[in-house]
């Protein structure tokens, strides 16, 4: 171990705290999207990295991968994980730059998650410079009521008020203990600044994996047992409320044909690993499964292994995003750009398309909002879906995906991280980016 510490213990190295996929994988089954996101950044960043990651199968591991040292040294949902992390971080006394990946579910319950504030405060006290990537920005818990198990009872309304106070306090304190907060869309930056106006917030848009290539549609359908003449509508990802999995099922439960073509709706995902132990979520998941079981046209795959992800995207005619609320950049949408697939999104998710680079891609491809955005009701979704399946805007959508895929590649994302963490003074000018993705790509 001492030799590995000597190899990576350098002022030019970076410490990263995050969930992390299995060795040799990026999109591990039943692992948070934060894990795959982190690994994509690590693979493309031009720095040696020391990654402090979660146990897998309750085992500690130490190994090298992609010019990085991975130390699986903490158990999630355990308040003392932060002490264990500090002990290990202090062994690398020459590394002062730390990047922490965070959302409120990945490390455990509210107590465990909240202790990150103390963790970051101690790091700052000892001279470390920490940047924290927050994958969710929550401004009003009422908009996520079904996701957190809140109803209309008076006690639930009281809980909602307390939750909102908690989140505001959390973000305010976070702005003091972290040197820099990073969010994954420009719109999320504005949401956060409305709560914590004095925080140092940077927006680095969610990356796109350009190493993913789509197999032939005919081959993918053959492997998955899908007929050539079927229309495939895809919902990809974990089953949860804010992403609208239940709404998707309700819309297509009894829909046999679209545009006179046999239609099959596939939910390529399974139970959420971060919510599966919560009673309200178990009831929600059981209800969704029960609805699927009554429909001959909807199927659920369970969590999709990495080797099969490309097949589902290649086989699909369109990917649907019936989100109820926009609080996080969509990792699945980045996969849509990777595989260059047609898509439609709810009005609630459409906020993220206000980003400059996405607006530019829309303009260059000739796409308009009316082509891909639907109101969160059955009629609006089906009208928009038929328009896409009728081939009216497919080519434009593919063109847009090609542009975004190029501009938001993880190669560019990693460069933005390097500049934000290691050279922040040249990266900023009055809290604005010094360059766009377009200029970055041209360099």
Mean pLDDT of 159-170: 95
Q: Is residue 258 part of a domain?
A: yes
Return the structure tokens found at 82.
């932060």
Domain that holds residue 333: 217-407
Are 119 and 156 found together in one domain?
Answer: yes
Are 399 and 414 found together in one domain?
Answer: no
Tens digits of residue pLDDT in 383-423 = 999 989 887 788 999 999 999 999 999 999 999 999 999 98
Are 199 and 321 found together in one domain?
Answer: no
Are 167 and 102 found together in one domain?
Answer: yes
Q: Name the band, by pLDDT with cuts 50, 70 and 90, for residue 260.
A: low
Domain count, the chain: 2
Are 184 and 140 found together in one domain?
Answer: yes
Distance of alpha carbon 257 from alpha carbon 239, whole angstroms:
24
Are 238 and 200 found together in one domain?
Answer: no
Are 77 and 148 found together in one domain?
Answer: yes
CB atoms within 10 A of CB 188: 26
Are 108 and 222 found together in one domain?
Answer: no
Q: What is the pLDDT of residue 427?
A: 53
Please give the full DSSP string across 268-337, using - where no structure is assigned: E--B-TTTTT-HHHHHHHHHHHHHHHT-TTEEE--SPPHHHHHHHHHH-SEEEE--S---S--HHHHHHH
Are 391 and 250 found together in one domain?
Answer: yes
Q: Is residue 438 part of a domain?
A: no
Pick the closest to residue 63 from 74, 75, 76, 50 (CA basis): 50
Return the structure tokens found at 169.
């306090």
Q: Is residue 441 part of a domain?
A: no
What CATH number does the domain containing 236 carry? 3.40.50.2000
Are 283 and 146 found together in one domain?
Answer: no
Tens digits of residue pLDDT in 311-339 = 999 999 999 999 999 999 999 999 999 99
Q: What is the pLDDT of residue 337?
A: 96
Distance of alpha carbon 397 from alpha carbon 226, whole angstroms:
23
Rounded to two decimals, the pTM is 0.92
CB atoms within 10 A of CB 250: 15
Q: Is residue 150 part of a domain?
A: yes
Q: Is residue 353 part of a domain?
A: yes
């Amino acid at each position: 171990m001492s030799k590995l510490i000597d190899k990576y213990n350098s002022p030019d190295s970076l410490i990263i705290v995050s969930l992390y996929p299995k060795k040799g994988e990026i999109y591990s089954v039943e692992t948070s999207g934060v894990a795959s996101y982190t690994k994509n950044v690590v693979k493309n960043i031009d720095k040696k990295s020391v990654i402090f990651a979660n146990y897998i199968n309750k085992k500690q591991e130490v190994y090298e991968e992609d010019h990085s040292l991975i130390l699986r040294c903490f158990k999630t949902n355990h308040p003392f994980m932060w002490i264990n992390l500090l002990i290990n971080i202090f062994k690398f006394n020459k590394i002062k730059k730390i990047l922490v990946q965070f959302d409120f579910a990945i490390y455990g319950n509210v107590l465990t998650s909240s202790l990150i504030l103390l963790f970051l405060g101690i790091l700052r006290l000892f001279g470390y410079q920490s940047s924290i990537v927050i994958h969710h920005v929550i401004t009003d818990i009422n908009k996520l009521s079904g996701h957190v198990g809140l109803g209309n009872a008076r006690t639930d309304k009281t809980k909602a008020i307390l939750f909102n106070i908690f989140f505001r306090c959390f973000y305010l304190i976070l702005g003091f203990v972290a040197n820099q907060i990073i969010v994954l869309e420009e719109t999320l930056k504005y949401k956060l600044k409305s709560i914590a106006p004095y925080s140092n917030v940077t927006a680095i848009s969610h990356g796109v994996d350009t190493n993913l290539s789509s197999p032939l549609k005919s081959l993918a359908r053959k492997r998955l047992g899908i007929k050539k003449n079927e229309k495939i509508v895809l919902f990809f990802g974990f089953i949860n409320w804010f992403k609208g999995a239940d709404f998707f099922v309700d819309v297509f439960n009894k829909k046999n044909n679209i545009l006179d073509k046999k239609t099959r709706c596939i939910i390529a995902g399974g139970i959420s690993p971060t919510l599966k132990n919560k009673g309200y979520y178990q009831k929600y998941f059981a209800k969704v499964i029960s609805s699927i079981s009554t429909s001959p046209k909807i199927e659920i795959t369970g969590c999709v292994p990495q080797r099969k992800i490309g097949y589902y995207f290649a086989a699909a005619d369109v990917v649907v995003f019936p989100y109820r609320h926009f609080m996080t950049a969509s990792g699945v949408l980045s996969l849509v750009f990777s595989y260059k697939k047609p898509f439609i999104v709810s009005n609630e998710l459409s906020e993220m398309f206000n980003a400059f680079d996405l607006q530019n891609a829309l303009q260059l491809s000739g796409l308009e909002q009316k082509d891909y955005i639907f109101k969160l009701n059955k009629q609006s979704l089906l009208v928009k879906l038929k328009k896409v399946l009728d081939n009216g805007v497919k080519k434009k959508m593919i063109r847009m995906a090609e542009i975004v895929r190029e501009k938001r590649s993880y190669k560019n994302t990693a460069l933005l991280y390097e500049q934000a963490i290691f050279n922040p003074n040249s990266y900023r000018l009055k809290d604005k980016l010094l360059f766009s993705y377009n200029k970055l790509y041209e360099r």
